[in-house]
Amino acid sequence: MESLTLRASPSTAAPLRRVPGRRHAAVSVRASAGAGEPDLSVRVNGLKMPNPFVIGSGPPGTNYTVMKRAFDEGWGGVIAKTVSLDAEKVINVTPRYARLRADPNGSTKSPIIGWQNIELISDRPLETMLNEFKQLKKEYPDRILIGSIMEEYNKAAWHELIERVEESGVDALEINFSCPHGMPERKMGAAVGQDCDLLEEVCGWINEKATVPVWAKMTPNITDITKPARISLKSGCEGVSAINTIMSVMGINLKTLRPEPCVEGYSTPGGYSARAVHPIALAKVMQIARMMKEEFADGQSLSAIGGVETGNDAAEFILLGADTVQVCTGVMMHGYGLVKKLCAELQDFMRQHNFSSIEDFRGASLPYFTTHTDLVHRQREAINQRKAIRKGLESDKDWTGDGFVKETESMVSN
Ligand SMILES: Cc1cc2nc3c(=O)[nH]c(=O)nc-3n(C[C@H](O)[C@H](O)[C@H](O)COP(=O)(O)O)c2cc1C
């Protein structure tokens, strides 16, 4: 295997804003077999975590009790449920979740592969949430707690929210530019993330105020996710998180003819998550990672999210360049103890390849994406070189009736 050019190991810089915690000096790395267990620790924007697994904003980070549980179980960090200044404007409905099962008939015995929610941001008073953040930072000073915030299109409101959330002692801020449902009329969430001019202006407000690292959370519900990611980073954000949920309609009840989840006979499009979105998240993360590698070299970070339930899912994101991996629905389905399985499986993967640290393989698969035109070119070259061995068909005219099954097999990737 050719040697891979990867980014350097984390520096030991203090977690200060504007002093990125990682340098991008290129180093050629093929992991050496380290003594002992593979090291899962990461340092991102100066924040040190025992492992890359972070609770994604949502129900698993909605109050003191559950966030404490996450720290006790060993999560590398916690991103709390998104807060805003006035929780009274946030009115949730029930039911607000709907699930898709692998079995086409929806047997409750078959695994859940997709999850839709029409849940809004936190409906708990901001002051209550901030007191809980303070308490958690008091009890777990060395653990990473990230406040997720969202506000209306109003500079003063954003500044007040940032000041109050920072005062609670959080280590960083994640900006929710990405909730697909609810409150677009107040220019909140995806309404900002989908409008690059608005995004640039709001990011400007945020970055002139914030004193801790800021991650901008991207919506996948946009044609080119690299555009808002680029604008956020150019506007001074230290990192990008991707993806939030994908706009979805979970289904139509064929008895009642009403859409799901059904509230008083009606529904509204929601956000799709869990295993089914993982391939889409991989594509979005890959696009952002390529853009960051080409255009930014100042320690900006990438936090990957979407359908993670195994250590291998996480390894895939890291191989595309992610610094951290967030999990939301996976925790709702499997509980906080999932982190132990994730860590063990990621270490198994690292052992198989002799990787001793996360930096040994972060971004290692990124160079292997190219254009379709380039695939055609590469294949033509390869076929020319293998004239004698017929492997893969160059053109549709080459199919033969006799060797049809073998020829089909020769073009399957696994
Ligand atoms: C019930 C639910 C509530 C969520 N609430 C928030 C939220 O308040 N803020 C936010 O930024 N993302 C929120 N998300 C999105 C998740 O953080 C995550 O981006 C998305 O679900 C994809 O990851 P997953 O497949 O691991 O869940 C929520 C997701 C779910 C399922």
Nearest C-alpha neighbor of 284 from the set 331, 227, 213: 227
Report the nearest atom of ligand 1 relative to the CA of 117.
Answer: 1
Predicted confidence (pLDDT) at residue 21 exceeds the cutoff of 80: no
| Residue located nearest, by CA, to atom 22 of ligand 1 | 306
Average pLDDT over residues 253-270: 95
User: Is any atom of ligand 1 closer than 6 Å to the C-beta of 355?
Assistant: no
pTM of the full predicted structure? 0.87
Predicted confidence (pLDDT) at residue 6 exceeds the cutoff of 50: no
Predicted confidence (pLDDT) at residue 23 exceeds the cutoff of 70: no
Average pLDDT, rounded, for the chain: 89
Taken as a whole, the chain contains a residue count of 414
Predicted confidence (pLDDT) at residue 283 exceeds the cutoff of 70: yes
Looking at residue 38, its amino acid is P
Predicted confidence (pLDDT) at residue 94 exceeds the cutoff of 60: yes
| Residue located nearest, by CA, to atom 10 of ligand 1 | 57
Host H or E run for residue 325: strand 324-327
The DSSP call for residue 10 is P
How would residue 50 be classed by pLDDT, with cut points 50, 70 and 90?
very high
pLDDT (tens digit per residue) in 80-92: 999 999 999 999 9
Instruction: List Cα–Cα distances, 17 to 80, 171, 237, 410, in angstroms.
Output: 20, 10, 10, 52
Predicted pLDDT of residue 392: 64
pLDDT (tens digit per residue) in 181-219: 766 667 787 888 898 999 999 999 999 999 999 999 999
Burial track 288-301 (b if 16+ CB lie within 10 A, e otherwise) = bbbbbbeeeeebbb
Beta-carbon contacts of 38 under 8 Å, excluding residues fewer than 6 positions away, are 346, 347, 350, 351, 355, 356, 357
Predicted confidence (pLDDT) at residue 224 exceeds the cutoff of 80: yes
* Ligand 1 geometric centre to CA of 335 (Å): 15
Nearest C-alpha neighbor of 57 from the set 218, 207, 292, 168: 218
203 carries an active-site annotation: no
Lowest mean pLDDT among 31-35, 64-68, 116-120, 393-397: 31-35
User: Is any atom of ligand 1 closer than 6 Å to the C-beta of 304?
Assistant: no
User: Is any atom of ligand 1 closer than 6 Å to the C-beta of 112?
Assistant: no
d(CA 122, CA 119): 9
Domains of the chain: residue spans and CATH: 4-368 (3.20.20.70), 372-409 (no CATH)
User: Is any atom of ligand 1 closer than 6 Å to the C-beta of 319?
Assistant: no
Q: DSSP strand E in 235-314: where?
A: 239-242, 246-248, 251-252, 259-260, 270-273, 301-305
Percent with pLDDT over 90 in the chain: 77
Lowest mean pLDDT among 38-42, 56-60, 409-413: 409-413
Q: 248: which 2 tokens? A: 């979805």
d(CA 138, CA 197): 39
Predicted confidence (pLDDT) at residue 104 exceeds the cutoff of 80: yes
Predicted pLDDT of residue 390: 59
* Ligand 1 geometric centre to CA of 163 (Å): 24
| Residue located nearest, by CA, to atom 29 of ligand 1 | 58
Predicted confidence (pLDDT) at residue 359 exceeds the cutoff of 50: yes
Nearest C-alpha neighbor of 353 from the set 9, 24, 34: 34
User: Is any atom of ligand 1 closer than 6 Å to the C-beta of 207?
Assistant: no
How would residue 150 be classed by pLDDT, with cut points 50, 70 and 90?
very high
